[in-house]
Every structure is written in C-alpha cells, then in structure tokens.
Chains A and B, each alone.
Chain A
C-alpha cells in the first residue's frame, strides 16, 4: 500500500510536466529541421528552394541582404510591412471615424468596414488592382506597378479589420479618462492622442500582432497579380519543373518559418511591454 502510494506520488509531478511540455512546438521544429536537411542534401529540394526564395537571375540591383534571403522573400516581407503600415493608418482613421459623433464621418467609416468585410479577399485584390487603382490613378495605363497595387489592396482590406480593433481598443478605455483629460482643458484631439490612444494601443497590441501575421499569410494572395512573392515563385517553379512536392513543401516551410519567428518575436515584445505598464 505504502509502496503503491509512493509510486503514484513520485509519478504525479513528472507526469504533469510531461503533459505540459509543448510537444506541438517540437513537432513543428522537427518538420523545419527535416526540411532544412532535405534542402541541404537533396539537389531537387535545393534547386526549388533557391528558385522560390528568389536567388535567381541578376541580383546586381539588390543589396546583399536581399541577395542572401532572396528576392521572393523580400517581396513578401516588403508587401506585408508596407501594406500593414498603411493598413494601420487606414484602420486608425476608420476606427476613429466609427466612433465619431459626426454623421458623415461615422457613416463613411461604417460603409468602408462593412463593404470590405462583405467581399472575399481574393475578389477585393482583383477589384482594387484592376478597378479602383485605375479609377483613382486615371486609366489602366497609369503606370502604377502591380506590386504597388497589391500593397494598396492589402492595406485597404486589412485597414477595415484593424478599424474594428482600434474601435474596440478605444472603447475599452474607461469614459473617466476622456472626462479627466477634457476637464483639464485638453481638446478632444489632445485627449485622444495623449491619453486614450497610448492606452488603447497597448491593449490591442496582441490583436494587432495577430493581424500582422494573418496579413503575412494573406500576402500570398497577391501572387494572383503576378507579383513575384514567394508564392508566385513557388507556382512558377512547380509549373515549369513539375516538382510539385518540392515546391509546395518549401513554400510551406518558408511561411511557417516566417510566421513562427514573428509570433515568438511578438510574444517577447508583449512580455517586455507588459513589464513597463
């Protein structure tokens, strides 16, 4: 009896550690390492990898870093970063408009958000690139590059999602904060900028991070505009060599590496910020 108790007691803590261990992460890392080994040892994988990340053709136009990580990856990262930066601006403006007391501003913001949310992302990318941009820029041959149109499309689409995040973030701050700021004589704009938004942004940082990662993945959709991001590179390689297995495994590998790195970075950043609040 005592021996049995001893046994179970001994087993319990070890058992829970075993349960808590992030096995899923180990599995993902094993996948990534396996892919790394395949790329290093298998010529077919290596060829596909080099093509898709974009280490092909003339690289004189690109700085060393770009040559190292590859043009395909650079296009994906660039599209995401610039697109997200603009999406933040659109999102903030629409989020502020959404809670504005001005009827025109509020309705414009709601129109934008509901319009975008009601149409599939892929359809929006086509519509923005081939209808909206020519209409704004004045004609189909206005010389706006496809990659610019892609960035613009992603910014408009994600701006609508971020608007809702910003709105929720602003509304999460207690009414007393605005009242205290206004009672000190601050204008509505000063109170928003110095008191409400700094607190709201801190609250919505995890949500913004999630959308950034979502946007990195959705940036693969711009390949439909023949923008040579990694997805387009993968499709090109697959269709010209019929190496579908290598192409799409490597594409998966590249995205997973990027998103996982990003989410680890974000977690670290949030924890660091959390300490300062």
Chain B
C-alpha cells in the first residue's frame, strides 16, 4: 500500500470542529529523513494536520500512519507511537513546577523506563546540544523564551524520536531569539531527522526544507521545493499568500 520509505502517511484526512470543517481531505506522505514545511494563512488547517500526526487531534475521517502503524486503530498503543514522535509547541509548554533537568528526564523515566542516572546523562547531552547545559537546575520561568523553546526541543530529543513535529516554534518569540531556535532546528535537519514544521520562517524553509506544502482553507493547494514555491508559485492563492507575507 505504501512506499516503505514513507514514515508518515496522511490519507484523505478530514477534521470537523463542530460544524466547521478545518481539514478537507488532505493527503501527504513524508519520507525518512525528509524535512517538510507547512505554510498557509491562519485558519488554513495546518496546525490541525500537524496535531493529527501524533493524535493530539483525532481525525473525523481518514487515516494517519506512522511507520505503517494506523493511529486511529483502537488496538494501537498511542503512547508507544507518541514516544517516537517528538512535538514542539508554539507556547513551549515546559512543566513550570520542574527544573529544566527534570523537564527533560521525567518522560524518559516514566515512558522509556530509563534510570535516573541514564536519563540525567542523556538530558545533559541534549542540553549541551541546544547550547544551555548551564541552565539544568533553573526553573522554566527563569529562562528567556528562546531558551525555553530550546529546552522544549531537548526534552523531545531526549526520547530519541524518529520524527519531530514543530508547531510554529518561533511565533511566540521576540525577534532576537528566533535565530537561536532556528539554528538548533537547522542542525537537526542536517543530521537527517524527519521533520514536519509549521512555520512562516522562509529563510529556514530555504535552508532546510525538502518540500514546502502550501495549505489554504483546509486543503493542500500546492507542494513544491522551497525554491520553486517561493519564486515561482503555480496557484493564484499561493501567489496571494506569498505577496502578503513578502509585502514588507
């Protein structure tokens, strides 16, 4: 049924919130090691699609497969799948009552069943990777937004996920902090992590993306390489959207 290289398959996805249809039949496959960026105006359904990939939203219709595992199947152990799919949120969602180190170790211990020592060691490796090992004992509220988001990335990476999802990871950040987060994501992309990213950061898309998906009004309008999509969009809706975000 699928290409064996496809780690994410979204098959005819529909999602209703009450009477409002947020996603109208989206099909999308992501190969191992691929970086896919989803762009589109607000309300276009891009975040909903992303959240269906780790079952934070349950599709009204259609199916999502991770490594061939059907998420909507009642027999699927969703927690097992989620441990393989990291997610980074717009609002960071660090656990404010835990230190940075505890934020990164708690799921390792509860879900991966690692002991305290091992979890701590992996946490420190990831903190070093995102460039703030010295903040291990700080509480989230003592960190800047950019630092918090980097901790959130480290928290996901410590689970050794196969896939990373990013839901507008820089939208809540002050401009001077955006780069430090994107730099971390860029390294991750170069290392071959499979990533699906909802973002408007065009520089990042050009540097890291294999494909850019443009969504509007719940549907995929256009899929292309970043170069092609940004310089030579095929659809009027894509042109209109790009003219708005490139306008200044």
Which residues of A line the B interface, CB within 8 A?
174, 176-177, 179-187, 190, 194-195, 198-199, 202, 277
| Total CB contacts across the A-B interface at under 8 A | 63
Residues on A with beta carbons closer than 8 Å to the beta carbon of B152: 180
With A and B bound together, what is the CA distance between A177 and B159 in angstroms? 17
Q: How many residues of B contact A (CB 8 A)?
A: 25
With A and B bound together, what is the CA distance between A184 and B191 in angstroms? 21
Q: Is the CB of B83 within 8 A of A180?
A: no
Supposing A179-B56, A179-B89 touch, asked if A185 and B95 sit within 8 A by C-beta, the answer is no
Q: Is the CB of B93 within 8 A of A182?
A: no
Within 8 A of A (CB), among B78-116: 79-80, 82-83, 85-87, 89, 91, 93-97, 106-107, 110-112
Q: Is the CB of B93 within 8 A of A176?
A: yes
Decide yes or no whether B48 CB sits under 8 A from chain A.
Answer: no
Which of B89, B112, B159 meets A180, CB within 8 Å? B89
Decide yes or no whether B46 CB sits under 8 A from chain A.
Answer: no
Which of A179, A185, A198, A202 meets B93, CB within 8 Å? A179
Q: Is the CB of B95 within 8 A of A184?
A: no
Q: Is the CB of A202 within 8 A of B97?
A: yes
Q: Is the CB of B97 within 8 A of A277?
A: yes
Q: Is the CB of B97 within 8 A of A186?
A: no
Which of A176, A186, A277 meets B79, CB within 8 Å? A186
Which of B87, B95, B96, B97 meets A183, CB within 8 Å? B87
Which of A174, A185, A199, A277 meets B107, CB within 8 Å? A185
Supposing A176-B93, A177-B93, A187-B79 touch, asked if A182 and B110 sit within 8 A by C-beta, the answer is no
* 22 A–B contacts, CB within 8 A, in A order: A177-B95, A179-B87, A179-B89, A180-B87, A180-B89, A180-B94, A180-B95, A183-B54, A183-B85, A184-B83, A184-B155, A185-B79, A185-B83, A185-B111, A185-B159, A186-B79, A186-B107, A186-B110, A190-B111, A195-B106, A199-B95, A277-B96
Q: Which A-chain residue is minimally distant from B79 (CB atoms)?
A: A185
With A and B bound together, what is the CA distance between A31 and B232 in angstroms? 85
